[in-house]
């Protein structure tokens, strides 16, 4: 089973790395990171702080876009081109197929994030900054975030077409980043509608809490996004949440794929 999953993952990695869209998105990310230098020169405060802020924002934004693109296109393309029909009937379980695809896309995301992070660190070094544990923590949170987005996009692509799945993934990302506001609004009862408050509470539990992974220049100044010390324990907690949510999304996607008529 492991050999079959790794074979699918390796093939997926090769396919995605040959996709020109990936290089275009990566180029835009690098340009935005380099553009932070110009913005830093115009800043009234320490330019290094703004460079960190914009650099992390660029990595998070384009990591999210790449994750959504991969999640809604790779498996759907297999189904549309009917190449999956020549794979599934062979001695390969649908679960193995999906896990291999996810691992290949995850590996692609890791490579993309490593490249963007490398450019980001080079820019910091050119301005007298450099790597630190805080930046490493922030980058690990971004990695956990994009993996969650990938799993969500993969599930949505199994339920609908790639365009709608892409829009829904982006919408869930925005709502997930607003999870703290949604929770506050639901608990305060400001809507004046008990039914809506109940719906908001339910949504707060079901939607992915992307606010957990939100990073910015404030993190780089050793101030947590939640007003507490930004520790490794917090990174571990957020990563554990990400792993649990990914497993749930993959489980639902596998369930959907098993019910789909492929032969």
**Alpha-helical runs (H) found in the chain:** 2-17, 20-42, 47-80, 94-126, 133-159, 162-177, 179-188, 194-206, 217-220, 232-259
pTM across the whole model:
0.84
Q: What digits encode the pLDDT tens for the residues 2-18?
A: 777 888 888 888 888 88
Q: What digits encode the pLDDT tens for the residues 234-247?
A: 889 999 999 999 99
Q: Identify the DSSP state of 78.
A: H
> Is the per-residue pLDDT at 45 higher than 70?
no
Q: In angstroms, rounded to a whole number, what is the distance separating the alpha carbons of residues 238 and 244?
A: 10
Q: What digits encode the pLDDT tens for the residues 53-102?
A: 888 888 988 999 999 999 998 887 776 766 655 555 566 677 888 888 99
pLDDT of amino acid 186: 62
Which domain does 198 fall in, by range?
2-259
Q: What digits encode the pLDDT tens for the residues 198-233?
A: 776 766 677 888 888 887 644 444 444 444 446 788
pLDDT of amino acid 68: 94
Q: What are phi and psi of 246, to 5 degrees?
A: -60, -45
Per the structure, the count of domains in the chain is 1
Q: What digits encode the pLDDT tens for the residues 104-131?
A: 999 999 999 999 998 888 888 887 766 6
Q: What digits encode the pLDDT tens for the residues 188-207?
A: 655 555 666 677 676 667 78
pLDDT of amino acid 89: 52
Q: Are 72 and 156 in contact (CB under 8 A)?
A: yes
Q: Identify the DSSP state of 231.
A: -
- What is the rounded end-to-end Cα distance, in angstroms, of the chain? 21
């Amino acid at each position: 089973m492991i050999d079959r999953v790794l074979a699918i993952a390796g093939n997926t990695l090769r396919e995605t790395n040959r996709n020109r869209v990936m290089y275009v998105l990566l180029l835009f990310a690098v340009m935005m990171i380099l553009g932070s230098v110009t913005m830093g020169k115009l800043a009234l405060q320490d330019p290094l702080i703004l460079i960190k802020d914009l650099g992390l924002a660029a990595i998070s934004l384009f990591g999210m876009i790449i994750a959504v693109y991969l999640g809604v296109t790779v498996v759907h393309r297999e189904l549309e081109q009917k190449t999956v029909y020549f794979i599934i009937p062979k001695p390969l379980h649908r679960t193995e197929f999906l896990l291999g695809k996810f691992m290949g896309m995850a590996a692609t995301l890791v490579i993309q994030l490593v490249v963007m992070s490398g450019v980001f660190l080079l820019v910091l070094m050119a301005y007298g900054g450099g790597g630190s544990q805080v930046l490493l923590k922030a980058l690990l949170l971004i990695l956990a975030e994009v993996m969650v987005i990938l799993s969500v996009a993969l599930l949505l692509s199994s339920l609908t077409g790639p365009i709608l799945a892409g829009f829904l993934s982006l919408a869930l990302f925005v709502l997930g980043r607003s999870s703290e506001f949604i929770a506050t609004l639901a608990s305060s009862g400001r809507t004046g509608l008990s039914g809506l408050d109940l719906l908001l509470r339910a949504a707060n539990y079901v939607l992915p809490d992307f606010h957990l992974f939100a990073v910015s220049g404030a993190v780089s100044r050793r101030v947590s996004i939640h007003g507490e010390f930004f520790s490794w324990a917090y990174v571990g907690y957020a990563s554990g949440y990400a792993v649990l949510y990914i497993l749930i999304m993959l489980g639902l996607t596998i369930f959907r794929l098993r019910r789909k008529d492929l032969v």
